[in-house]
A and B are shown apart, each in its own frame.
Chain A
């Protein structure tokens, strides 16, 4: 098949690119200590929170933007960004009736109805619109189980002791350029606490939507699973279609105490920019979990959006017998760039980690897997298995694999497998000879390539992810 045909095939319409007209309360562009104070005040935060933010900001001023990652972008003017934008609404939201109907319609259009009777059974949703959380569903049902699931702002106000204890315990305020910026200016996000021995009765999900222009989105998510607790959490993301780039610098911290189990899934579909590479989200995200004795943290991500994706969901395997997993599908099309992977840091004895990365490049997309497996001296009998597969659609795109392996304990077993394949003309012809259209054949082959990862997603979302990948590769067949 000619590259042109593939090019055609992979031309993607972005379906979530609309803008919602909503009155909002927005800061003027610019970043300073004053802005941070205003932000903190606006959110009614306790003093410890403001202190933490300022500490981060002062540190950030001393830092330089990193440039080691294999992505190229125009310099970001941090003074041109607005650090707060919230739809105007009553300060406290007792029920969904008080949420701006325009916003409810937005989520409905995106396929995330927030009215509980219409919701997917067994999935609680927290909706974050620009800088703030606008609604959290199924709160009562969760409360009965003792699970706290609320916006980060609410957690700061209602559960300051928990926030104080765990905030920054995995990703410290001084961690890296974008995480530090986030620590200074984060506006909202989700907070989850699952008490000892509790299995969270439903899937938890946050849906992030960037709407306003020129704003950055800096959300922060903190999930704590207490001893023996189990929780599965999913985030989804979209943004309107705009010519300018927007920054999304999030931080996610996971704490799995002894014997706990956290499954964190992401379906990321931020606006990727147009076919010429104009616009799109810069998705610079720090995600990390700490796994205590006998616990398990599993990251699953399906990254199809964003102009640039730059993230390495990681697990610090601190406790003996803890387990870390990373399952990833990253798709880059047109001029999209992705530099993503994971870090597995083995500290405890008998710690195990599994990495399965599937990179798909189409158009002129560039896809880099970058991963670190680090086995410290203390990590007797650590095991890692890494598998990185790349699939190329066409001959103008690229796939790169950059594995770093550091082993300080001789008893460790580290396995690495990598493969790169082109979507086979043979495979396509085989499908078409059986009557399957070229377009459906491509999406079937790509979905097959990703199956190992999709099967890790919660049922409800596996279907969505599959569809998303189909849409991302959709185009007119000549």
Chain B
């Protein structure tokens, strides 16, 4: 059974239709990459899947683990195993990184009927997981993302993912703004978290990331639709030929040519 099924998803934000019929199926163990020009709706899709306020689904449905997802609150989705690594991780002044993460993990564990981790056990777990992305111990006790560099924020997202062990991880441009070493580290962390039970959706602009994290499928999104899907060679071809190859002008959100553009 598919882990995530998105069918004909339409969504609007601030009175504007952004998603115009998305179909996507992610099976356990698969890694999907979503590419596409700026403003094409990639982050919007991620937000709708995670349940952010202000996004109105006007058509379609989403099943997670075979169950409808869209009626759940963000925290319920998180607890059932949906994780979003944010394109722009948020700073929460005064709230310690570890305290935040332990609160989150224990909130999820409580709902799942598991025992909460005490401070000592949690620290142990956090130390172990932080190695995955080489996040220095000094970051653990700083406020959530406050004063973190762009790269550190992204690593912190993957660190959180490693601790929370979601079933489905959506990584929104986790590679953007990373230098080459950090990219390798983050990719290494993500690869270590690949597992037969876990599905991943990588949103990215750069085929380079896909050299490190090899996807099972690649989708190209434009103007709120997936206009092309294929294997990893699609990303290479896109890199070589640019978006104009798919009938898109200069990476802008022009409507795709051909039969796929339903009006």
Complex alpha-carbon distance, A291 and B77, angstroms: 56
- A282-299 vs B, Cβ < 8 Å mask (1 yes, 0 no): 000000000000000000
Does any Cβ of B come within 8 Å of A94's Cβ?
A: no
Q: Are A435 and B108 in contact (CB under 8 A)?
A: yes
Q: Are A449 and B94 in contact (CB under 8 A)?
A: yes
Complex alpha-carbon distance, A425 and B75, angstroms: 14
The stretch from B95-103, B118-126, B209-217, B246-254 touching chain A is: B95-103
The stretch from A45-53, A101-109, A440-448 touching chain B is: A440-448
**Smallest Cβ distance from B222 to chain A, in angstroms?**
26
- B215-228 vs A, Cβ < 8 Å mask (1 yes, 0 no): 00000000000000
Complex alpha-carbon distance, A436 and B144, angstroms: 14
The stretch from A128-136, A143-151, A426-434 touching chain B is: A426-434
Residues of A within 8 A of B77 (CB): 433
Complex alpha-carbon distance, A433 and B107, angstroms: 11
Chain A's closest residue to B85 (CB) is: A433
Complex alpha-carbon distance, A16 and B203, angstroms: 51
**Smallest Cβ distance from B78 to chain A, in angstroms?**
4
Most buried by B among A427, A434, A440, A448: A434
Residues of A within 8 A of B54 (CB): 425
Residues of B within 8 A of A451 (CB): 93-95
Does any Cβ of A come within 8 Å of B74's Cβ?
A: yes
Chain B's closest residue to A432 (CB) is: B74
Q: Are B75 and A444 in contact (CB under 8 A)?
A: no
- A411-433 vs B, Cβ < 8 Å mask (1 yes, 0 no): 00000000000001111011111
- B81-116 vs A, Cβ < 8 Å mask (1 yes, 0 no): 001101001111111000011011101100100000
Taking residues whose C-beta sits less than 8 angstroms from the other chain, chain A's interface range is: 20 to 34
Complex alpha-carbon distance, A459 and B241, angstroms: 63
Complex alpha-carbon distance, A336 and B90, angstroms: 31
**Smallest Cβ distance from B218 to chain A, in angstroms?**
25
Complex alpha-carbon distance, A452 and B160, angstroms: 25
Residues of B within 8 A of A431 (CB): 92, 100, 104
Please give the number of chain B residues whose Cβ is less than 8 angstroms from any Cβ of chain A in the complex: 32
Complex alpha-carbon distance, A450 and B91, angstroms: 15
Q: Are B95 and A445 in contact (CB under 8 A)?
A: yes
Residues of A within 8 A of B89 (CB): 430
Q: Given the interface contacts A427-B90, A444-B100, does A432 sit within 8 Å of B95 by beta carbon?
A: no
Q: Is the interface of A mostly helix, strand, loop or mixed?
A: helix
Complex alpha-carbon distance, A90 and B79, angstroms: 59
Q: Are A429 and B94 in contact (CB under 8 A)?
A: no
Does any Cβ of A come within 8 Å of B183's Cβ?
A: no
Q: Are B75 and A447 in contact (CB under 8 A)?
A: no
Q: Given the interface contacts A427-B90, A448-B143, does A440 sit within 8 Å of B74 by beta carbon?
A: no
Chain B's closest residue to A430 (CB) is: B90
- B9-42 vs A, Cβ < 8 Å mask (1 yes, 0 no): 0000000000000000000000000000000000
Contact of B107 among A427, A437, A448, A452 (CB under 8 A): A437
- A320-338 vs B, Cβ < 8 Å mask (1 yes, 0 no): 0000000000000000000
Does any Cβ of A come within 8 Å of B149's Cβ?
A: no
Chain A's closest residue to B95 (CB) is: A448
Contact of A434 among B51, B78, B91, B111 (CB under 8 A): B78
Does any Cβ of A come within 8 Å of B4's Cβ?
A: no
**Smallest Cβ distance from A477 to chain B, in angstroms?**
9
Complex alpha-carbon distance, A452 and B111, angstroms: 32
**Smallest Cβ distance from B168 to chain A, in angstroms?**
12
Q: Given the interface contacts A444-B100, A448-B95, A452-B94, does A433 sit within 8 Å of B164 by beta carbon?
A: no
Q: Are B104 and A435 in contact (CB under 8 A)?
A: yes
Contact of A433 among B50, B92, B95, B111 (CB under 8 A): B50
Does any Cβ of B come within 8 Å of A1's Cβ?
A: yes
**Smallest Cβ distance from B116 to chain A, in angstroms?**
12
Contact of A435 among B52, B78, B94, B95 (CB under 8 A): B78
Residues of B within 8 A of A430 (CB): 86, 89-90, 92
Does any Cβ of B come within 8 Å of A174's Cβ?
A: no
- B57-89 vs A, Cβ < 8 Å mask (1 yes, 0 no): 000000000000000011101110001101001
Residues of B within 8 A of A434 (CB): 78, 100-101, 104, 107, 160, 164
- A143-167 vs B, Cβ < 8 Å mask (1 yes, 0 no): 0000000000000000000000000
Q: Are B107 and A435 in contact (CB under 8 A)?
A: yes
Q: Are B92 and A432 in contact (CB under 8 A)?
A: no
| Interface residues, chain B, with chain A CB atoms under 8 Å away | 50-54, 73-75, 77-79, 83-84, 86, 89-95, 100-101, 103-105, 107-108, 111, 143, 160, 164
15 contacts between A and B (CB under 8 A): A1-B53, A425-B54, A429-B52, A431-B92, A433-B74, A433-B75, A433-B78, A433-B84, A434-B101, A434-B160, A435-B107, A435-B164, A447-B95, A448-B94, A450-B94
